[in-house]
Amino acid sequence: MTGYKYTTEQEAIDARAQAAAYMGLPNPTMDTLYWVNYNHSELDGFYYIQYVEGLEDVLGTPIEFTVTMPELN
């Protein structure tokens, strides 16, 4: 996956807020609060935001990393 990794949930929340502010969100005339959202990989022990075009302008250069998905039974 290409994106941004964070050690703590607060770091991910802060990055999401930076991205939202960059895009002028939240917009009082719309329902959109955030441009991107973060996820938690419990199996890997980190939080992450998946890359979308333009995000590097606010969060910097994205990295490649692996997210382990739980097995479905």
Interval 49-67 mean pLDDT: 97
Contact between residue 3 and residue 66 where contact means Cβ atoms under 8 Å apart: no
In a domain, 39, yes or no: yes
For the ranges 8-17, 30-39, 56-65, which has the lowest average pLDDT? Answer: 30-39
pLDDT of residue 17: 95
Pair of tokens at residue 71: 């097995």
Task: Say what the pTM is.
Answer: 0.89
Peptide bond before residue 26 is cis, with ω within 30 degrees of 0: yes
How far is it, in rounded angstroms, from Cα 1 to Cα 15?
A: 18
Backbone dihedral angles phi then psi of residue 64, each to the nearest 5 degrees: -95, 135
For position 18, what pLDDT does the model report? 97
**Which secondary structure element, helix H or strand E, spans residue 2, and what is its range?**
strand 2-6
Q: Give the mean pLDDT of the chain.
A: 94
In tens, the pLDDT along 23-53 reads 988 887 878 889 999 999 999 999 999 999 9
- Amino acid in the structure at residue 10: Q
Q: How many domains does the chain have?
A: 1
Which structural domain, as residue segments, surrounds residue 52?
2-64
**Residue 73 forms part of a structural domain:** no
